[in-house]
Amino acid sequence: MTWTVADAMDYKGLPAQRSKTGGWVPAALILGIEICERLSTMGIAVNLMTYLGGTMHLPSAASANIVTDFMGTSFLLCLLGGFLADTFLGRYNTIAIFAMIQTLGTGALAISTKLPQLRPPPCHSTSGIDNCKRANGFQMGILYMALYLIALGTGGLKSSVSGFGTDQFDDRDEKEKSQMVYFFNRFFFFISTGTLMAVTVLVYIQDKVGRSCAYAICSVSMFIAIMVFLSGTKRYRYKKSLGSPIVHVFQVIVAATSKRKMDIPYNVASLYENSHEASIIHHTDQFRFLDKAAIVSDGDFEGGSIPNPWKLCSVTMVEEVKMMARLLPIWATTIVFWTVYAQMITFSVEQASTMDRSIGNFQIPAGSLTVFFVAAILITLAVYDRLIMPLWKKWKGKPGFTNLQRIAIGLILSVIGMSAAILAERKRLSVARATSSTTATLPISVFLLIPQFFLVGSGEAFIYTGQLDFFITQSPKGMKTMSTGLFLTTLSLGFFVSSFLVSIVKKVTGSNGRQGWLADNINHSRLDCFYGLLAILSLINFVIYLFCATLRYKPPKTKPSLQMETIINGHIAEDKC
């Protein structure tokens, strides 16, 4: 056991001393940032629909698109945050900078919801929002500025928080390796705690006390978390940035494109290779066009012996890019699930706002219905871990479902969830038609929506863990960070696809003066038809997924060390979550 950690430095840039840096205490200081990020992002997202419709007087379709674009951008900006952390800033600086950006965003949102000048006058009409004055461009501009500052902050934080936490432990030391596992148990607990507080306490404060007060709490709590985070500066361990794997992918593509007219040699052993023997990935025949990046030609070397990485790449680098390319069909067929997921924080919340949410004298906030979604995730994970996995191991001799099987279960649960949503919405619409249009709350219990929340939530528990496991274990060892970022783009694109579908459906079904499926007033809409469209798309997507997973996907035959990762490394890749 050495007194220093081999690949870590202290805040002065010197080798990190094991006794004075790292460990559980510095890692715990980082967790406060994560709980505040979850509190802000989820607390805003799950209840934003009611603000946009009830206060800003926007149509339901436009409100849904604003929410999904906000969430989609948050996940997409994880790629930017990861790139900056890997290439320029490092994880510590990335966390500090983007946490401050999110603090500014939540503060701006608190101001925009407080000042009367930044929202339209209240609507006293009982005939819906049709006769209400909608928010003007300036008011919406301030709101957008605040939301996208928060999205930028979220993207930067998600890319680095858990990764910087794992930097505080040395996985070469058995004691610290066990501490790392404990850290990740606490990390998941903090994520769950932040989400539960967001959909219960924070949403309640928004509805009963005031949104500006709730958002100010987010801003102040994040500021305190930043101060706590900075207090550990001298105790942290810092890892040197190794560069972004995204650059390596582009280098292979550029090199192969520049040599597109050259013929691949018959003997692939003549292709360029300079990787260490332990990390070599052997040549495969798929995507042979990329092999041209490893053809040696004049002008590929700088200074006589050093290859220009934009002109010549090793076979191992090429094969790493091929491994990432093999993931794309599975990646593409999981996007639709997150489109279904988007409905749980948009139209499902708006459905809840029209229904009876009382339990005795207590009125449940519409946004708090997503607590059933979170509960479904936690219950499903617990049942799978404690019941399904042991039984499956006794029956099949395997420790649970494979990652592709878990993804399949998640996809089919989304189909069933949308089917349940269709039935619930038809019942709600029948009550709405039988009730006076001036009635603000329909005489139908909001608990009718629980099945769709629970089914899609259970689907997320399977598909999230399955996707993460798949992208980690099937990607090159040097591209774990990038593969997790690729996984998160499915969430981002799912939200953007939702916005696209809503816009198309509203334009197609609402033309020629018709109300359409997504009318401004949800009680005049045919949301059941929109859910039916999503159910059909999900079923078609499931069939395509089965084809890709069973017939098209061929895992590469590489050395065991490249195929298997310990659970610790799997957790490390969650630095994008």
Domains of the chain and any CATH numbers:
1-241 (1.20.1250.20), 245-326 (no CATH), 328-577 (1.20.1250.20)
pLDDT tens per residue across span 134-156: 888 999 999 999 999 999 999 88
Q: Find the mean pLDDT for residues 324-353.
A: 89
**What local confidence, expressed as pLDDT, does residue 30 receive?**
85
pLDDT tens per residue across span 111-138: 999 998 988 888 765 544 456 788 889 9
Q: Find the mean pLDDT for residues 35-48.
A: 87
Q: What is the DSSP letter of 125?
A: -
443 backbone dihedrals φ, ψ, rounded to 5°: -80, 65
Does position 182 have pLDDT exceeding 70, yes or no?
no
Most confident of 48-62, 485-499, 512-526, 532-546: 532-546
**What local confidence, expressed as pLDDT, does residue 560 receive?**
39
Contacts (Cβ under 8 Å, ≥6 apart) of 97 = 89, 156
Compute the distance between CA of residue 445 and CA of residue 405 in angstroms, rounded to an integer.
35
100 backbone dihedrals φ, ψ, rounded to 5°: -65, -40
Q: Are strands 358-359 and 4-9 parallel, antiparallel or unpaired?
A: unpaired
Dump strand ranges (E) for 249-360.
301-302, 306-307, 355-356, 358-359
Compute the distance between CA of residue 61 and CA of residue 143 in angstroms, rounded to an integer.
17
Contacts (Cβ under 8 Å, ≥6 apart) of 194 = 34, 35, 36, 37, 38, 39, 42
Does position 218 have pLDDT exceeding 50, yes or no?
yes
**Hey, what amino acid is at 311?**
K
Helix axes 335-344, 60-84, angle to 10 degrees: 130
**What's the token pair of residue 19?**
């006794």
Which band of pLDDT confidence, cut at 50, 70 and 90, is reported for residue 185? low
35-49, 124-138, 228-242, 374-388, range with the lowest pLDDT? 124-138
Which band of pLDDT confidence, cut at 50, 70 and 90, is reported for residue 566? very low
**Hey, what amino acid is at 465?**
T
Does position 506 have pLDDT exceeding 90, yes or no?
no
Residue 320 · residue 253 · CB < 8 Å = no
**What local confidence, expressed as pLDDT, does residue 338 receive?**
93
pLDDT tens per residue across span 62-72: 888 999 999 99
Which residues, in sequence order, are bridge partners of residue 17? Answer: 4
Q: Find the mean pLDDT for residues 555-573.
A: 40
SS3 state at 8: strand
**What local confidence, expressed as pLDDT, does residue 102 receive?**
94
Side-chain-side CA neighbours of 102 within 13 Å: the count stands at 34
**What local confidence, expressed as pLDDT, does residue 481 receive?**
65
**What local confidence, expressed as pLDDT, does residue 217 receive?**
92
pLDDT averaged over every residue in the chain: 83
Does position 498 have pLDDT exceeding 80, yes or no?
yes
Does position 223 have pLDDT exceeding 90, yes or no?
yes
Query: 């592709």: which residue's tokens?
Result: 404
**What local confidence, expressed as pLDDT, does residue 215 receive?**
92
Q: Find the mean pLDDT for residues 273-283.
A: 75
Query: 């419709």: which residue's tokens?
Result: 53
**Residue 421: its H or E element:** helix 403-434
- Burial class of residue 294 (count of CB atoms within 10 Å of its CB; 0-12, 13-18, 19+): buried
Does position 298 have pLDDT exceeding 90, yes or no?
no
Which residues, in sequence order, are bridge partners of residue 442? Answer: 355
Residue 282 · residue 337 · CB < 8 Å = no
Compute the distance between CA of residue 327 and CA of residue 18 in angstroms, rounded to an integer.
39
Does position 520 have pLDDT exceeding 70, yes or no?
yes
**What's the token pair of residue 253?**
């593509």
**What local confidence, expressed as pLDDT, does residue 477 receive?**
67
Q: Find the mean pLDDT for residues 190-206.
A: 83
Helix axes 480-509, 527-547, angle to 10 degrees: 140
Instruction: From residue 408, give the alpha-carbon distance in Å to each of 182, 345, 396, 463, 465.
Output: 30, 23, 18, 7, 12
Does position 558 have pLDDT exceeding 60, yes or no?
no
Query: 């969650």: which residue's tokens?
Result: 574
Specify the higher pLDDT residue, 192 or 411: 411
Does position 464 have pLDDT exceeding 50, yes or no?
yes
- Nearest-CA neighbor of 535 among 330, 404, 339, 329? 339
